[in-house]
Amino acid sequence: MVPEFVLTFILGTVFVNGKLYEIPNNFSLGVAISSYQSEGAWNVNGKGENIWDHLTHTRRNYSYDGSNGDIACDSYHKWKEDVQQLKYLGVDHYRFSISWSRILPSGFSNVINPDGIRYYNDLINELLKNGIKPLVTIFHWDLPQPLQDLGGLANLKVTQYVEDYSRILFQHFGDRVKWWITFNEPLSYCLYGYNGVVAPAILSSGVGSYLCGKTLLLSHGKIFRLYEREFRKEQEGKVGITVNIAWFMPKTNSEKDKEAVARANDFLFGWWMHPIFSKEGNYPKRMSDRIEYVSKAENFSESRLPPFTKEEIKLIRGSYDFFGFNYYLAQVIQDDLVTPYNPPSFDQDVGVVATTIPGVEETEHNWFPIYPQGMGDVLRYIHKLYKGVPIIITENGYPDSGQLSDPRRINYIQRHLIEVLKAKEEGVNVFGYTYWSFMDDYEWLYGYLQKFGLFNVDFNDPNRTRTPKASAEFFRLLTKYRVVPSDTIDC
Ligand SMILES: *[C@@H]1O[C@H](CO)[C@@H](O)[C@H](O)[C@H]1NC(C)=O
Ligand SMILES: *[C@@H]1O[C@H](CO)[C@@H](O)[C@H](O)[C@H]1NC(C)=O
Ligand SMILES: *[C@@H]1O[C@H](CO)[C@@H](O)[C@H](O)[C@H]1NC(C)=O
Ligand SMILES: *[C@@H]1O[C@H](CO)[C@@H](O)[C@H](O)[C@H]1NC(C)=O
């Protein structure tokens, strides 16, 4: 059932004064979610413990609502129904992640859990049967706990275990999965995972964060080379990474603030993009110079940023078929370089202060500014930096309380998608848009307090009943008519 205001909106703009942005047929529309946030069944049928199971079980109050992902949306049991909802939305692709601990309970590749293989085979087959292309994230933050016990991504040996795990995924699913994302949001994992905000919740900002980053970049390179070496010829798929990027603008026109924006871009995004997508490879020079200088001033015996060898730079450089990009945030950046002091921290290294853009509208929970232009600006920025790189938006979404009437979410999708299509018209090679999230889910620190879904999930109902929100109906219209009306809805 299409709510009346949606119909009025579509028909009104089509027939009255609407400029319609066409969504080309080969532009892929999809929705996303991740394993820990949706699957549940945390200890069912042989699944091992991961760092999110561990964190939420050992620190009961970790999430603001004291919740965890033990059951979440119960997609482990409801995958068939999930695919029916995806079909209802009419999406071209579905982005989900594979739970490493469900496939390899101990994290190592010596023992494979047959039920894990069965689960993802069922899901992938059901998607394909319904004409939906799987876009699969190999690692979306849920590292097996036994590997964390060995130091997690601060331990370089983990690059080997990631490669072993990925080989098993390619062997079992690569005949049908043609789009792979190695890592989701490396910045969030290595920055917030090492300043206590998300799992593994280690307090080692400015040290552990960079060790994590090196392992992650090397692991990404290894997965890509593994695919090239052993699978590409036969499977003909594509492998990329998903980076979360914000749009930053200087607080003033001063050289200091402009340099602060360049520094923030290099530290937060160039950290990942430059080694993989630039011609030279390696960390951005602005970043490595700065960390070396600050480390020295803090009396460390060497830079806290672990260097890459020439061979490692080569392994990582060019290890992509596409660029995945999550967009949520735009901020004002101000220079804040201070004399180095102990203890070290990532924030001190970056040396900027980020604030909200004056006057900008925010989401219901004051979580994110709503700044659609930033989406187009980042797309043009990536296009210019890494000319011609094929880009897919792998996340973009709006949080609220989960109510079924969600006109602001509709408006958010519409305005962001228009910016994407405008950038595409200007020649940016962007080939898809993925809304986060498919349904309400476990949102890490925010537990079940922040709802991004197109579908409402009743978390008090053991059946975890899903109900389409107005935005789901809107998304159906997008996939059906393949146009985005320019007019905003008056709510
Ligand atoms: C999509 O279709 C357009 C128009 O036919 C074409 O120019 C473009 O190369 C296609 N893009 C992809 C990614 O296939
Ligand atoms: C968790 O939060 C509850 C409610 O706020 C509180 O009563 C309890 O003491 C907290 N437990 C821990 C371990 O902090
Ligand atoms: C580094 O050591 C020098 C010499 O002991 C000392 O003066 C300086 O304060 C130290 N730097 C920091 C950031 O602690
Ligand atoms: C659970 O949900 C499914 C799908 O919506 C429905 O078919 C089924 O009847 C529900 N079961 C119960 C016990 O509510």
Q: For 132-180, how does the pLDDT look when each residue is reduced to its tens digit (9 = 90+)?
A: 999 999 999 999 999 999 999 999 999 999 999 999 999 999 999 999 9
What are the tens digits of pLDDT across the range 414-439? 999 999 999 999 999 999 999 999 99
| Ligand 1 center to 9 CA (angstroms) | 29
| Residue 488: pLDDT band with limits 50, 70, 90 | low
| Ligand 4 center to 463 CA (angstroms) | 6
In a domain, 383, yes or no: yes
Lining ligand 4 with CB less than 6 A are 81, 463, 465
Ligand 3, atom 2, residue with closest C-alpha: 299
In a domain, 491, yes or no: no
Residue 109 structure tokens: 């590749």
| Ligand 2 center to 66 CA (angstroms) | 8
Residue 445 has pLDDT above 60, yes or no: yes
According to the model, what pLDDT value does residue 487 have? 62
What atom of ligand 3 comes closest to residue 341's alpha carbon?
13
The length of the chain in residues reads: 491
Residues with Cβ within 8 Å of residue 223, at least 6 apart in sequence:
138, 162, 163, 166, 180, 182, 239
Which residue out of 299, 339, 348 has the highest number of ligand 3 atoms within 8 Å of its CB and is therefore the one to mutate?
Answer: 299
According to the model, what pLDDT value does residue 244 have? 97
According to the model, what pLDDT value does residue 368 have? 86
| Ligand 4 center to 330 CA (angstroms) | 41
According to the model, what pLDDT value does residue 3 have? 46
What are the tens digits of pLDDT across the range 307-323? 999 999 999 999 999 99
According to the model, what pLDDT value does residue 387 have? 86
Residue 202 structure tokens: 């280690």
| Ligand 1 center to 408 CA (angstroms) | 31
Residue 68 has pLDDT above 70, yes or no: yes
Which residue out of 23, 26, 321, 429 has the highest number of ligand 1 atoms within 8 Å of its CB and is therefore the one to mutate?
Answer: 26
What does the pLDDT average to over 474-485? 93
Active site residues per annotation: 185, 395
Report the relative pairing of strands 466-468 and 455-457 from DSSP bridges.
antiparallel
What are the tens digits of pLDDT across the range 70-100? 999 999 999 999 999 999 999 999 999 999 9
According to the model, what pLDDT value does residue 18 have? 55
What atom of ligand 3 comes closest to residue 299's alpha carbon?
1
| Residue 276: pLDDT band with limits 50, 70, 90 | very high
According to the model, what pLDDT value does residue 90 have? 98
According to the model, what pLDDT value does residue 10 have? 54
According to the model, what pLDDT value does residue 366 have? 64
Cα(55)–Cα(61) distance, integer angstroms: 10
Structural domain including 135 reads: 5-485
Q: Which amino acid is at 16?
A: V
Lining ligand 2 with CB less than 6 A are 60-61
CB 379 within 8 A of CB 431: no
Among 476, 480, 452, smallest CA distance to 2 is for: 476
Among 110, 216, 121, smallest CA distance to 164 is for: 110
What are the tens digits of pLDDT across the range 118-136? 999 999 999 999 999 999 9
Ligand 3, atom 3, residue with closest C-alpha: 299
Among all bound ligands, the one having the nearest atom to the CA of 66 is 2
What does the pLDDT average to over 453-462? 98
What are the tens digits of pLDDT across the range 363-403? 887 678 999 999 999 999 999 999 899 999 999 999 999 99
Ligand 1, atom 10, residue with closest C-alpha: 26
Percent of the chain with pLDDT over 90: 92
According to the model, what pLDDT value does residue 485 have? 82
| Ligand 2 center to 61 CA (angstroms) | 6
**Tally of domains within the chain:** 1
Residue 2 has pLDDT above 80, yes or no: no
According to the model, what pLDDT value does residue 118 have? 98
In a domain, 461, yes or no: yes
In a domain, 249, yes or no: yes
In a domain, 92, yes or no: yes
According to the model, what pLDDT value does residue 76 have? 98
Q: Which of 5-9, 219-223, 481-485 has the lowest mean pLDDT?
A: 5-9
| Residue 489: pLDDT band with limits 50, 70, 90 | very low
- Whether the upstream peptide bond of residue 24 has omega within 30° of 0, thus cis, is no
Cα(135)–Cα(31) distance, integer angstroms: 10
| Residue 458: pLDDT band with limits 50, 70, 90 | very high
Percent of the chain with pLDDT over 70: 95
What does the pLDDT average to over 216-233? 98
According to the model, what pLDDT value does residue 125 have? 98
Is there an atom of ligand 1 within 6 Å of 307 CB? no
Cα(263)–Cα(257) distance, integer angstroms: 10
What are the tens digits of pLDDT across the range 251-272? 999 999 999 999 999 999 999 9
| Straight-line distance from the first to the last Cα atom of the chain, in angstroms, rounded to the nearest whole number | 19
What are the tens digits of pLDDT across the range 167-200? 999 999 999 999 999 999 999 999 999 999 999 9
Residue 229 has pLDDT above 90, yes or no: yes
* Single pTM value for the model: 0.94
In a domain, 148, yes or no: yes
Among 158, 175, 159, 279, smallest CA distance to 225 is for: 159
Residue with tokens 């890509």: 224
Residue 445 structure tokens: 């620190």
In whole angstroms, how far apart are CA 489 and each of 139, 365, 409, 476?
37, 21, 11, 17
Q: Is the dihedral of CA 55, 56, 58, 60 positive or negative?
A: positive
Q: Which amino acid is at 380?
A: R
Question: In CATH, what number is assigned to the domain containing residue 324?
Answer: 3.20.20.80
Residue 448 has pLDDT above 90, yes or no: yes
In a domain, 55, yes or no: yes
**Across the chain, what does the average pLDDT equal?**
94
According to the model, what pLDDT value does residue 373 have? 96
Residue 11 has pLDDT above 60, yes or no: no
Residue 13 has pLDDT above 80, yes or no: no
In a domain, 490, yes or no: no
| Residue 1: pLDDT band with limits 50, 70, 90 | very low
According to the model, what pLDDT value does residue 9 have? 56
In whole angstroms, how far apart are CA 14 and each of 19, 74, 96, 421?
8, 39, 34, 18
Ligand 3, atom 12, residue with closest C-alpha: 298
